[in-house]
Amino acid sequence: MSETILITGGGGNLACQLSFLLVERGAKVVLTDVAPQPTAPCDPSCEYIAGDLRTSGLIEDLVARHKPTTVIHFASLLSGSSEVDRAVAWEVNMTGAFRVFESAVAHGVRKVLFPSSVASFGTPLPEVVADDCPQWPVGFYGVTKVAVERIGHYYHHRHGVDFRCLRVPITISAYANPNAASSYASQVFMQTLRDGRFSFLVRPTAKPALIYVRDLLRAFLLLMDAPRENLTRCVYNVHGLSPTAAEIADAVRQRLPDAQIDFTPEASVADLIDSWPQQFDDSPARRDWGWKPAYVLDGLADDFLATLSKG
């Protein structure tokens, strides 16, 4: 019998891209999201179910009906939206996660995977952020990420749910949310290729931890596949690269010589990005499940622009 994987937030960037890799491996993939249709291309064999995570019984019904062996819980309000409406953020980010874990216990789901975030850390931070670095987030989104990490840890140790979590750096992807503060690292490639110009809202010195989406998807698969006995923890940092915004701008200019790129920092955005970690210590992930990023800035820039050019 093939593996069945349920992905919440299934209409979003990572879920849609991950769907192709999961189906390629022979999995049956069920996607659910509040959006009426996926916001990015997904594998056509996937079943897509539109529904609001805040609706009581939705997750319970999906888990009972489809009997997934793994739930990948991507559904979340992002940082800006979480600040605008904390009540909705709590319902989606917290109550939604609680319902996922309760459904996993009730119906014998083997694994629950969850993406945490650089936003789960506050400031000031050490130069290299370890897995167990104290987490005192400054945004409500980050608060909910820390809370779900701890809830997952509880369900693992008290109820036997195989909870696995990645702390995800800013992800460079063609489907990055353009309204997110972190999207500058993707948008500089996309807008410059499309319009010939881009204006950074962060400072030239900004250098938070980044990861290319191809590396991140591979990290999720590596962690999902790792034997439980090899894992020494539930929550892992992963790190890709940490170029400054100025270095990213230079990489784009080298490949698009006519590009007009400037910096007009917006304090609220720039301060938020400057508060995020610059480098994760991901040595436990490297040791326990063989993680290692494949892309540095030059390779990332070449591959990303080539992918964008293909449409």
Q: Say if residue 61's pLDDT is above 60.
A: yes
Domain presence at residue 287: no
Backbone angles phi, psi at 58, to 5 degrees: -60, -55
192 and 134 co-located in one domain:
no
**pLDDT band at residue 188 under the 50/70/90 scheme:** very high
Domain presence at residue 300: yes
Mean pLDDT to the nearest integer, 53-73: 95
Q: State CA 308 to chain mean position distance.
A: 20
Percentage of the chain lying above the pLDDT 70 cut:
100
Residue 144 is predicted with a pLDDT of 97
C-alpha–C-alpha distance, residues 311 and 306, integer Å: 9
Q: Say if residue 152's pLDDT is above 70.
A: yes
Q: Say if residue 173's pLDDT is above 70.
A: yes
Please check whether residue 277 is in contact with residue 121, taking contact to mean a CB–CB distance below 8 angstroms: yes
The residues carrying an active-site annotation are: 141
SS3 180: coil
| DSSP string computed for 220-277 | HHHHHHS-GGG-S-SEEE---B---HHHHHHHHHHHSTT-EEEE---HHHHHHHHTS-
Domain presence at residue 283: no
46 and 135 co-located in one domain:
yes
Look at the block and give the residue holding tokens 């789901």: 109
Q: Say if residue 196's pLDDT is above 70.
A: yes
62 and 156 co-located in one domain:
yes
Residue 79 is predicted with a pLDDT of 81
189 and 87 co-located in one domain:
no
**pLDDT band at residue 73 under the 50/70/90 scheme:** very high
Mean pLDDT to the nearest integer, 229-257: 97
249 and 156 co-located in one domain:
no
Look at the block and give the residue holding tokens 């030059």: 298
Q: Say if residue 78's pLDDT is above 90.
A: no
Domain presence at residue 288: no
Burial (CB count within 10 angstroms: exposed 0-12, middle 13-18, buried 19+), residue 254: exposed
* Beta-bridge mates of residue 113: 72, 164
Q: CA nearest 152: which of 218, 239, 69, 72?
A: 72
102 and 229 co-located in one domain:
yes
Domain presence at residue 164: yes
CATH of the domain at 249: 3.90.25
Residue 16 is predicted with a pLDDT of 93
203 and 225 co-located in one domain:
no
CATH of the domain at 109: 3.40.50.720
Residue 1 is predicted with a pLDDT of 46
245 and 233 co-located in one domain:
no
245 and 103 co-located in one domain:
no
- Between residues 310 and 187, the one the model is more confident about: 187
The overall average pLDDT reported for the chain is: 94
Structural domain of residue 60, as residue ranges? 4-170+210-237
Residue 217 is predicted with a pLDDT of 97
Residue 202 is predicted with a pLDDT of 97
Residue 176 is predicted with a pLDDT of 82
Residue 118 is predicted with a pLDDT of 86
Domain presence at residue 284: no
144 and 271 co-located in one domain:
no
Residue 99 is predicted with a pLDDT of 97
164 and 194 co-located in one domain:
no
C-alpha–C-alpha distance, residues 302 and 307, integer Å: 9
Domain presence at residue 99: yes
Domain count, the chain: 2
Domain presence at residue 285: no
> What is the tens place of the pLDDT at every residue in 101-141?
999 999 999 999 999 998 898 888 888 999 999 999 989 99
**pLDDT band at residue 46 under the 50/70/90 scheme:** very high
**pLDDT band at residue 65 under the 50/70/90 scheme:** very high
148 and 264 co-located in one domain:
no
Percentage of the chain lying above the pLDDT 90 cut:
86
